[in-house]
A and B are shown apart, each in its own frame.
Chain A
Amino acid sequence: MLQEILQSLPQVLVDGLTLGAVYAVVALGYTMVYGILQLINFAHGEVFMSGAFIGTAFFILIMGMGWASAIPQFILLIIVLILTASITGLVGVGLERVAYRPLRNAPRLIPLITAIGISFILQDVVRFIAELFNGNYIVTGPSLFSEQITLKASAISSIFYDARFKTSFLIVLGVAIILMVALDYFVNKTKWGTAMRAVALDRETASLMSINVNKVISITFFIGSALGGATGVLFAVQYGTIDPYIGFILGLKAFIAAVLGGIGNIRGAMVGGMLLGLMEMFASANLSLLTGGVFGAEYKDVFAFAILILVLIFKPEGLLGKPTAEKV
């Protein structure tokens, strides 16, 4: 049995890291907003979904222009990522301004319910627009980065089988890692990033440092939503077909990744996302084997969630979270 698990390991790692990177970047959006407002922005999954649609629309639009075929795919991807991230970033800023800011001093449950309401609105708006232009709310984008790559793991050791995947996996993984490194740098090394951490720790005192707290909160929503939207584009590139409901499960899992890493902790979200992706793919490949066929791959989520529950029992603050937050 160990032998079979090892054989599939290279494939599990490639698939798991790619899925994990997607979870991780979306988880950042949850964790940043939670860190600064103690608000669980459940609409974030829908911002991700909107990004997938906006990105796909840009791909269809740009590739529909004849001359665009001359643009290398990678450049095209970067252009679409930037455009989409800017739009979803502004959507996030608008959401905070219109829906959350007026409720900032309301009991916590109220903005939470509002967030769920916004999720439904975003789903329906995207569905309406997609049906209007596409005739169907399930949309398939152009196929990009679809060459097959084989990772010759068997050449390293005969224990392993080769891993096979599309180029898009590498693109998704690479872009996601770049986004995470850039965010980590921003938050830890720049003036506005430090201000963001200061506001998260103590909003009143931050305002006494001449920091415009509302502006910092807007920036937080912009960055979180831009990252979410960009990940939506990556998702669309990887899977090709999208619908207005992809944000729900993915958003939920990204939220869980954020909790797993310690909600409010940025590096925690990255670690949590990667771990969740890896666990899910590991379960998907090996669950049937491990349980003698009782549970099949379709129970992978149960496996992942069971691990989450275990972590939370023994470390309720999450893997990188602080034991008992020192929030006032």
Chain B
Amino acid sequence: MTVLEVNNIETYYGAIQALRGISLHVDEGEIVTLIGSNGAGKSTTLKSISGLAKVKTGTIQYKGKEITNKPPHQTTILGMAHVPEGRRIFSNLTVKENLLMGAFSVKGKDVIQERMEQVFTHFPKLKERLNQKGGTMSGGEQQMLAIGRALMMNPELLMLDEPSMGLAPIIVEQIFEIILHLNSSGITILLVEQNAYQALSIAHRGYVIQNGEIVLSGKGSDLVENDEIKEAYLA
């Protein structure tokens, strides 16, 4: 089943055109990665999907439902979570409060408690830091918190924007392992990365974006072998 279907979208920031007709789809159970260099339009694609950026033309469907230009609080409630670039932890809120904000639309204290326990199984460190201010956590911890916060929504589709950004290799390794783990537990993943090699090696399929256009797509294992990609992104 197709979870997400993006159809020829164009997105502008004022007069600047960031996306020039992006089409992609994500099927249930997949890990799909979107790779490309700085300024290619990766983040803008995710923002257009979740509703943070307005698309000018094109359509976006989530599980067959039209969500084009719906505001984020309406798209995310359908079961898609967007972990933004740079983690964007609520710095003055405690770890616990950050997690609770992830569960903002969730009804029932016991459901929330249960989800929190689930998040702790992925990120045990968060449990020890419940009352620490989010902003005082290390980069790696903040990324874990950002993912944990998104998991509080119990998403069917998890969109991650450069989760490995600025992290030490061991931490990046951990994060990718967790992504694989989440995927095997049934969460569909759309992963934006500059870390092309690692992203492609865990992804079922990948898209390469350049100047707001998809220039290549295919199976992750094929793209890793592709000469153009090797030259441009895996040097």
Contact = CB atoms under 8 A, between A and B. Distances in A.
Give the most central of A191, A206, A207, A326: most B CB within 10 Å: A207
Interface in B104-159: 104-105, 135, 149, 153
A213 interface: yes
Interface in A204-226: 204-213
Please tell me the size bucket of the interface on B.
Answer: 20 to 34
Nearest to A207: B72
Contacts of B102: 209
Interface stretch (A17-25, A193-201, A282-290): A193-201
B84 to A, nearest CB: 6
A315 to B, nearest CB: 19
A194 B93 contact: yes
Contacts, number: 66
A211 B101 contact: yes
Interface residues of A, number: 18
Nearest to A204: B52
B21 interface: no
A217 to B, nearest CB: 13
A210 B88 contact: no
Contacts of A201: 90-93
A202 B89 CA distance: 9
Contact of B105 (A197, A198, A202, A210): A210
Interface of A: 191, 194-195, 197-198, 201-202, 204-213, 326
25 contacts: A191-B100, A195-B104, A197-B90, A197-B93, A197-B97, A202-B90, A204-B52, A204-B72, A204-B84, A206-B90, A206-B101, A207-B51, A207-B71, A207-B76, A208-B72, A208-B76, A208-B81, A208-B84, A209-B153, A210-B73, A210-B104, A210-B105, A211-B73, A211-B104, A213-B73
